[in-house]
Structure 1
C-alpha cells in the first residue's frame, strides 16, 4: 500500500513539475514575440513637409528638429523613422538639406541628405561623424552648404560643401588661448584670406538678399554677452572654381 501511495504521489509531482516547465517556456516565448508599434502622433516625416512648414522649424533639446503645425501641434521631424538633427530650406525653396544618424548600430555616423521638393527624391551628398560637427547646416546660395566643425583647442573649422561635387573646403576660426587676451576671432576663410573680428563667434547663420548670399557670425564677448552680427558676402564664383 505504501509503495502504491508513493508511486502515485511521485507521478502527480512529476506531472505538476512538467506542466509548470512547459507553461513557463510558453510564457517566455510569448513575451519576446514581435510587437507592431504604430508611429507616435508627435512625429512627421520630412518627405511630407510643405514649404510653409519650413518657416516653422524649431531646434529642440539635443538638436532635435521640430515644426509647429497650424493646429498648434508640435511634431518632431524624422526620415526613415530616425530623428533629424538639422534641416534647412534652400533660397530657391526647391530643395532642402538635412542630416541624421542612419545607422542603428552607431551614434556617430552622420549622413547629409539632399531632398528635392519638386520630385520628392533624396540623395546622400556628404558623410561624416557627429563628433566632428559644431553646428547645424546652412545654405549659401543654392549649391553650397556650410557648417562649423571641431578642429582642436581654441579653434573651430568652418566647412564649405558643394552639393553637386560633394567636395569640401575648410576655413578656420581661432580664438584666444588665455583669459587675459582680447576677445577677438581670427578668421581664415575658404580662399585663404585672413580677418580679425572683434568678439567671439557663438553661432553662424546665412541670408539671401537681392540675390546676394551672406554668411553671418553671431558674436559675443568673453562674458557671453551678445555683441551683434558680422555679415560677409559669399563669393559663389570663387567657390565654384575651388570645388567644381
Structure 2
C-alpha cells in the first residue's frame, strides 16, 4: 500500500475496485457477503488485517443502509445487546492478544473461516435457538464472533447461523444482521486503531473502496429480480469454499 502511485500500486487499486464491486453486488443480491467476499479476495494479495483495514468504511456505510431498511431497531437492540456487547469485547480482546504484524497463520485461519461458512451454507445448515437459550447463547456467540473477527477480519461465524436460528421475520433478520455487522465493524476499527494499523493511507484506501461497494450494491439490487436467488447463493458459497481452500493451502505451496 506504500507504492500506491507506482505501476504496481495502480494494479492494486484496480484489483481493490473490482473486489469491492463484486462484494457489493453479492450483498445487493443476497443481503450479506460484502466483508466475507472482500476480505477473502484481498487476502490473496495482502495480510488479512490489511484487508480488514480497507473494509471499515464500505462496511459501515452499507450496513447503515441495511439497518435503515427494517422497522424494529429498538426492539432488536433490546433483544440482541448482550451478543453485540460480547462481539465488541471479543474483537478488542482478540486484537490486543494478536501480534502487531498479524499471526503467521492468519491467511490459513481466514481460509478456514471461509470454508466453514461456505460449508454451512451449501449444507443449508440451520440452527434452532430456543427463546430460553438466548440469554446464555448470545454472549457466547458474540465472544466467539469477536475473536474470529480480530483474527481474520470476517464476522459471519458463528453470528450469522445464530441469528438465522432466532426465528426472526425476513426484514427483522436483515436488520439484525446489519446490527451485528455494524458492531463488528466498529469494534474491528477500534482494534486496528489501537494496534496502529488503521492509519491515514489505509483510511484513504477504505474511502476509495466505498464507491465500487455502493455501485455493486445498486447493481445487485437490480439483478435480484432477474436471477434465481437459490442458484446465486449456491454459486456464492461454492466460490467461497474454493477461495477458502486456496487460502488454507497457499502457505504450503509457495
Give the TM-score normalised by structure 2.
0.21
> Which structure is larger by alpha-carbon Rg, 1 or 2?
1
Higher RCO (C-alpha 8 Å, min separation 6)? 2
Higher strand share: 1
In the superposition, the TM-score normalised over structure 1's length comes to 0.21
